[in-house]
């Protein structure tokens, strides 16, 4: 039996085959799935939804360094595992011990590395199936990009 995600991927392919579309709006795919007998998901627990909204609010809080005036992310998530359950604790960068912020920063760096691997594989695949076209080159050394953004005018500064 295919996993739910695999079933969803198969349905997306079927939708594209049935409609002839190559660019798809997932809301339209969901309507198509519903009309094909796909079960609607159960509504999320209101407490879980509220907790997710608080997590997003924490993630979005930006402060400015008193010395440099530059923005920084105020709250950082730390993955915690208890038994088989994993969740995140949130810590304030101005209050948290070094080990917590270090763990959060390493986790974010690992996400960037994962994105870099995925980006490289996608570019390599496109280049392989389109040998007659100019290859897409993706450089992963962000040193200059970071330096340029750090020295950009203030209105261009963003914290991810």
Give the model confidence (pLDDT) of 3-51 as tens digits. 999 999 999 999 999 999 989 999 999 999 999 999 998 988 999 999 9
The neighbouring-strand residues paired with 85 are 82
The pLDDT, as a whole number, for residue 158 is: 58
Q: How far apart are CA 122 and CA 140, in angstroms?
A: 13
Q: Could you tell me if 89 and 80 are in contact, meaning their C-beta atoms sit under 8 angstroms apart?
A: yes
The pLDDT, as a whole number, for residue 152 is: 86
pLDDT tops 80 at residue 160: no
The pLDDT, as a whole number, for residue 2 is: 78
Place of tokens 């039996």: 1
Domain positions in the chain: 4-35, 46-156
Residue-wise pLDDT for 69-121, tens only, equals 999 999 999 998 999 999 899 999 999 999 999 999 999 999 999 999 999 99
Q: Which of 94, 92, 67, 64 is nearest to 77 (CA)?
A: 92
The pLDDT, as a whole number, for residue 124 is: 97
Q: Could you tell me if 75 and 59 are in contact, meaning their C-beta atoms sit under 8 angstroms apart?
A: yes
Residue-wise pLDDT for 120-156, tens only, equals 999 999 999 999 999 999 999 999 999 999 998 876 4
The pLDDT, as a whole number, for residue 153 is: 84
For 96, which DSSP code? S
Verdict on whether the full-model pTM lies above 0.85: no
């Amino acid at each position: 039996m295919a996993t739910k995600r695999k079933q969803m991927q198969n349905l997306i392919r079927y939708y594209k085959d049935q409609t002839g579309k190559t660019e798809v709006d997932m809301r339209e795919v969901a309507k198509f799935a519903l009309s094909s007998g796909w079960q609607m998901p159960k509504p999320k627990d209101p407490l879980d939804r509220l907790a997710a909204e608080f997590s997003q609010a924490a993630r979005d809080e930006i402060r400015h360094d008193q010395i440099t005036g530059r923005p920084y992310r105020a709250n950082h998530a730390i993955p915690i595992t208890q038994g088989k359950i994993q969740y995140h604790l949130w810590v304030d960068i101005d209050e948290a011990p070094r080990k917590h912020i270090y763990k959060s920063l390493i986790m974010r760096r690992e996400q960037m590395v994962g994105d870099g691997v995925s980006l490289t594989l996608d570019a390599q695949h496109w280049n392989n199936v389109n040998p007659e076209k100019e290859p897409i080159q993706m450089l992963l050394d962000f040193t200059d990009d970071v330096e340029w953004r750090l020295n950009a005018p203030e209105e261009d500064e963003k914290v991810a």
